[in-house]
Amino acid sequence: MGELLDAFQLGVRAMFAYQAVFFALLAIGLNLHFGYTGLLNFGQIAFAMVGGYGIAISVAQWDLPFWVGVVVGLGAAVILALLLGLPTLRLRADYLAIVTIASAEALRLLFRSVGSSEITGSTSGLFDYNSSFFSLCPWSVSGRFDILGTRWRGSELWVITIGWSIVLLACLLVWALMRSPWGRVLRAVREDEDAARALGKNVYAFKMQSLVLGGVFGALGGMIYAVGTGSQNPDQYQNANTFLAYGALILGGAARVLGPVIGAMLLWFIIAFSDSALAALVSGDNSFFGLFEWGDLLSTTDIAYIRFIIIGLGLMLLMIFRPQGILGDRREVMLDAR
Partner 1 sequence: MPADQPHGASAASSLPQAPATTAAPAPPARLAQAALRDVPWEIGVAKPDPAIVVDGVTRTFGGLTAVSVDHLEVQRGGITGLIGPNGAGKTTLFNLLTGFDQPNAGTWSFDGRSLGRLSPHQVARLGVVRTFQLTKALSRLTVLQNMLLGAKDQRGEGFFRSLVPGVWRKQEQANTEKALDLLARFKLDAKKDDFAGTLSGGQRKLLEMARALMSDPKVVMLDEPMAGVNPALTQSLLGHVKDLREQGMTVIFVEHDMDVVRDISDWVVVMAAGKVIAEGPPESISQNQAVVDAYLGAHHDAPLTVEEEDQVLAEAEAAIAREEGTSGEVLSSDGTDREGTQR
Measured from the CB atom, is 185 or 244 closer to partner 1?
185
Measured from the CB atom, is 101 or 254 closer to partner 1?
254
Measured from the CB atom, is 17 or 250 closer to partner 1?
250
How far apart are CB 151 and partner 1 at their closest, in Å? 40
The full length of the chain comes to 338
Which 8-state DSSP code applies to residue 255?
T
- One-letter amino acid at 78 equals V
How far apart are CB 323 and partner 1 at their closest, in Å? 14
How far apart are CB 209 and partner 1 at their closest, in Å? 5
- Range list of β-strands (E), the chain: 126-127, 144-147, 150-153, 231-232
Residue by residue, DSSP assigns 258-291 as SHHHHHHHHHHHHHHHHHHHHHHHHHTT-BSTTS
Residues ≥6 apart with Cβ < 8 Å to 206: 37, 182, 185, 186, 189, 196
Rounded to the nearest 10 degrees, the angle between the axes of helix 181-191 and helix 154-178 is 80
How far apart are CB 171 and partner 1 at their closest, in Å? 14
Q: How far is 130 from 137, CA to CA, in rounded Å?
A: 11
Measured from the CB atom, is 173 or 298 closer to partner 1?
173
How far apart are CB 249 and partner 1 at their closest, in Å? 16
Measured from the CB atom, is 194 or 285 closer to partner 1?
194
By CB under 8 A, name the binding residues for partner 1. Answer: 173, 176-177, 180-185, 187-188, 190-192, 194-203, 209, 213, 331-332, 335-336, 338
How far apart are CB 179 and partner 1 at their closest, in Å? 8
How far apart are CB 199 and partner 1 at their closest, in Å? 5
Determine the straight-line distance between the first and last CA of the chain, rounded to whole angstroms: 48
Measured from the CB atom, is 196 or 245 closer to partner 1?
196
Report helix, strand or coil for 293.
strand
- One-letter amino acid at 153 equals R
Are 188 and 201 in contact by the 8 Å Cβ rule? The answer is yes
Measured from the CB atom, is 153 or 197 closer to partner 1?
197
Which 8-state DSSP code applies to residue 64?
-
